[in-house]
Amino acid sequence: MDVPDRSHVEMLLQIARLLTTLDLDDVLQQTIQLTTQTVGAARGTFFLLDEQGESLQGFISAQAYDAETREIVSRRVLEQGLAGWVMANQQSALIEDTLTDPRWVVLDAEKERARVRSVLCVPFFVEGELRGVMTLEHPQPRHFTQAHLRLVEAAANQAAASLRNAQLFERVQGQQRQLRAILDSVSESLLVLDRLFCVRLANPAALTLLGAQESDVLGFNLETLAARLDNLFLAQLAQKLTAALQKAQNRFELRDERTKRDFVVNVASIEARRADESGYVLALSDVSSLKDLTRLKTHMIQMASHDLKNPIGVLRNYLDVIRADVDSGLLPDPRLLENMYKTLARMEALVVNLLNVQRAEETEPLSRELFDPYDLINAALEDILPAVRARQQTLIQNLQPNLRPLRGDFSRLREAINNLLDNANKYTPEGGEIVVSAYSEDERFTFSVKDNGYGIPADQQAAIFQPYFRATQAATQHISGSGIGLSIVKEVIERHGGQVWFVSKEGQGSTFGFWLPILT
């Protein structure tokens, strides 16, 4: 039995310390270096196999190889060389002289003979599975002894635990990278909290929602964060989460009053054996557009039923009169029939608006056809002309010649222009004037409709493009509408990359317009 050398004990201790090193390359590099030094080898190489123990995952050597040589060395040595023999036999090998041992493959005859005469090669087992082979070489024959062999085996045993740790860590890190990529790509805001509601993880969508950096939120409890970021939404999130957990509910709704956005929050519990690893995953989905549509729909239904009730009553009265006339052998009064047509037109307009809301809900994609802007304006004017005539209004066209072609959704833009013309017609008294202008300049197409009608009170102008907002003023009280037209104009124009605008003065008139980018 050999007496353990101090340097040998020191080496084993140092390898044992590698247990805390989690970098796989580091573990192998240091093991190779320590063993090479301790046994006085000239060169050490480590062949790392993949976790199935089948193919080469890494090749760590004390000396640098170019990529091509690495490929040849690793393939030949593993298939036919000593490392291959050690792997196949799952046992260590000591070659006292490479010249007489058939297990040694001569890679480059002259150089190899000059350099390597004795070799030690030991297998690495991790949890009983072969995971690699370490080879140590020396230019003198019979340099290595059986004592060296046992020492290197002990080093291999010792290093195997570190190797296992580092591999586990690498695997976990790989999984974390995958998880991170998933979290980064989801559009929902995700927050991972521990049991005390401290933020453990927040994906980019959540950070955007909170208007904070990752370093601002990680490790902070929701309530502390709410105070720090002066964010009422977070405070409510903490409150509602507590309430939901008490009632064993895994979903609740939350509104962000600041941004007027509505969220549905889904909660999943993380049940871990260790209390400090348990917690909650919160997924916040923005359902504002759905909520807006639901509100809009409810409003439209209320409004439609209210506004339709009145003309239906009017029609019934007219019909009663006409029936009484017919019963007495009289022809119906033509004025009554005329009024009935007008009432029907009002009802028709209401139904059209309802259909528009339905369309907005479907958010059909825009088409991108190339068209002549005169065709667009003429089509919209054609639609409005009968109403303009009926109100004896003057329509002036102020269209620049040679307007450049536009690209976009012809029918949606026609609907937008119709809404502006329709408003000018409705909110301008009989005999008024409507001026339609259009010009192209600086890659923009600009369109506007000016009227000299009732105008909009200054204090109500800010909300004018909001869905179902209608100005309240005595002059326009009698005019029916849904308050949806302008919001549709805004949506259509903005989806085309343009902008809407208006100026208005109560009692003097309004100008509504928009510009669109000219895309070729």
Contact residues: ligand ADP, CB under 6 A: 419, 423-424, 427, 451, 453-456, 464, 469-471, 476, 481-487, 510, 512
CB of 319 to ligand ADP, least distance (A): 27
CB of 472 to ligand ADP, least distance (A): 8
CB atoms within 10 A of CB 471: 21
CB of 485 to ligand ADP, least distance (A): 3
Please give the full DSSP string across 22-41, using - where no structure is assigned. --HHHHHHHHHHHHHHHTT-
Round to whole Å and give the CA distance between 485 and 422.
9
Q: Are 487 and 410 in contact (CB under 8 A)?
A: no
Cβ closer to ligand ADP: 44 or 455? 455
Cβ closer to ligand ADP: 57 or 476? 476
One-letter identity of residue 466: Q
CA 61, distance to chain mean position in Å, is 44
CB of 483 to ligand ADP, least distance (A): 4
CB of 422 to ligand ADP, least distance (A): 7
Cβ closer to ligand ADP: 160 or 484? 484
Q: Are 88 and 55 in contact (CB under 8 A)?
A: no
35, two tokens: 């063993």
Cβ closer to ligand ADP: 77 or 486? 486
Cβ closer to ligand ADP: 465 or 515? 465
Cβ closer to ligand ADP: 233 or 427? 427
CB of 375 to ligand ADP, least distance (A): 24
Residue 120: partners with Cβ closer than 8 Å, 6 or more residues away: 39, 41, 92, 93, 94, 95, 135, 136, 137, 144, 148, 149, 152
Q: Are 452 and 430 in contact (CB under 8 A)?
A: no
Measured at the alpha carbon of residue 42, what is the angle toward residues 41 and 43, in degrees to the nearest 5? 95
CB of 260 to ligand ADP, least distance (A): 19
Cβ closer to ligand ADP: 203 or 423? 423
CB of 349 to ligand ADP, least distance (A): 8
Cβ closer to ligand ADP: 162 or 510? 510
CA distances from 143 to 116, 119, 138, 140, 180 (A): 10, 8, 7, 6, 51
CB of 296 to ligand ADP, least distance (A): 12
What string of H, E and C letters represents the secondary structure of 38-106?
A: HCCCCEEEEEEECCCCCCEEEEEECCCCCHHHHHHHHHHHHHCCHHHHHHHHCCCEEECCCCCCCCCCC
- Where in 228-286 does DSSP place strands (E)? 251-256, 261-270, 279-286
Residue whose token pair is 């409507």: 434
Cβ closer to ligand ADP: 408 or 485? 485
Q: Are 267 and 247 in contact (CB under 8 A)?
A: no
